Amino acid sequence: MENGQRHTTHLRFVWKTTGYELREREGDVPAVGEEVEEDDERLYVTKVAPSPLPGDLRRCAYLQPVS
């Protein structure tokens, strides 16, 4: 929160075979263990941490493929 207002977006580190991609998404960050869809693939949240971008107060979800 900044100035009493919630952030309306969050970040996602999305696992790809070529490496991770950082993406911005609308809404609240998903919780650890939650499943989400990216590029027609089901992924699960392994951790939620502060944004890796300097000065960015949003949260970031780290995603791995559902096995």
Query: Domain residues of the chain, as ranges?
Result: 9-65
Q: Which helix (H) or strand (E) holds 15?
A: strand 9-16
Neighbours of 57 (CB within 10 A): 10
What is the per-residue pLDDT for 16? 87
- Residue 41 · residue 65 · CB < 8 Å: yes
The tens digit of pLDDT for each residue in 7-60 reads 699 999 998 889 999 999 999 999 999 999 999 999 999 999 999 999 999 999
Give the strand pairing for 35-38 and 19-26: unpaired
Q: Which among 46, 49, 67, 44 is positioned nearest to 59, based on CA atoms?
A: 49
Query: Judging by beta carbons within 10 Å of its beta carbon (0-12, 13-18, 19+), is residue 13 exposed, middle or buried?
Result: middle
